[in-house]
Amino acid sequence: MPDLETELSERRPHKRRRNWGSFLYMAGPVGFLLLLFAGPMAILVLYSFQDRGRAGTGAWTLSNYQTVTQPFYWRVALDTLIIALWAMAVLLLIAYPLAYVIAFKSGGWEIPLLLMLVLSDELNPLIRIFAWKTVLGRQGVINTVLQWLHVIDEPLDWLLFTKFTVVVVLSVSWLPYTVIPIYAAMKTIDRELIEAAQDLGAGWWTIFRKILLPLTAAGFMATVIIVFIPILSDYAAPVLVGGTEGIMISAIIGDEFLARGQWGIGSALTFVLLAVSSGIVWLSYKLTNLRKLQA
């Protein structure tokens, strides 16, 4: 009967071959994705430290990062953060109750409601944005109905081409991506916890604060990554319905690259936005305390 050490030594090469096989199997697609991501990012890093204007020499410089610290860019960055925070707040105010209803109160309508959420996102984003222009415009549905009801005498100009418009469009566009991660997190909660809290006289707010919110921290984290970060960098909504008041940093980046030909400044702005997004993800990770929850 072979001893234990001999048997283990015979098994190690097979295990090593299996590990190498898994590594080689994943190396191809992972390397391809890294190339598609890291390659363009490396080019942008170089451009952000070079004079890449229309008449640029390509010389190394820090002026691009000095330029993006000017008051104009700070104002646009602040407006971007305000719009994104408002849109995220509206989304969470709608998403948590809706996810709760779908997860615990919908009964046989659970799957149809989820399918309707998914189908609502199938419409082309540009068509959705232009649809909102017809709803919120001076001659749009809302102004027409309010004037017909004699609620207002003149069309409301602030419904379109303002921060309000961008918040509305972003909130509607990203609602499915906000509800579904929170819904998935809620489905892991034992229904008896909620029933026990209700039997003890806890109201909806107490249940939300003491049970739902702590136990859906992973869903909240996923929502920040899936929704809040893309909202910060959204391009179509501020360009099409934001006007001069609802402009966001992504529109400025696009303008630097496409209209002004300032690739260096555009690259620097891109990395500033990337740094802010990374900081938000890190902060969300710390606030949700995922490491503690996984333990």
17: pLDDT strictly greater than 70: no
127: pLDDT strictly greater than 60: yes
Percent with pLDDT over 70 in the chain: 91
At 253 the pLDDT is: 94
At 9 the pLDDT is: 55
Tens of pLDDT along 131-181?
Answer: 998 999 989 999 999 999 999 999 999 999 999 999 999 999 999 999 999
What number is the average pLDDT over the span 186-214?
A: 88
Torsion from C-alpha of 102, 228, 218, 41, nearest 10 degrees: 140
At 227 the pLDDT is: 93
Kindly state the tokens that stand for 275.
Answer: 């740094």
Count of Cβ atoms closer than 10 Å to residue 58 Cβ: 11
Average confidence score pLDDT of the chain = 86
pTM (predicted TM-score)? 0.84
Helix (H, G, I), strand (E, B) or coil at 60: strand
8: pLDDT strictly greater than 50: no
Asked if residues 249 and 37 have their Cβ atoms less than 8 Å apart, the reply is no
CATH of domain 64-294: 1.10.3720.10
224: pLDDT strictly greater than 90: no
- Angstrom distance (rounded) from CA 285 to CA 292: 11
At 28 the pLDDT is: 80
Task: Place 205 in a pLDDT band, splitting at 50, 70 and 90.
Answer: confident
Asked if residues 71 and 287 have their Cβ atoms less than 8 Å apart, the reply is no
6: pLDDT strictly greater than 80: no
Task: Place 3 in a pLDDT band, splitting at 50, 70 and 90.
Answer: low
Tens of pLDDT along 266-294?
Answer: 999 999 998 888 888 888 777 766 544 44
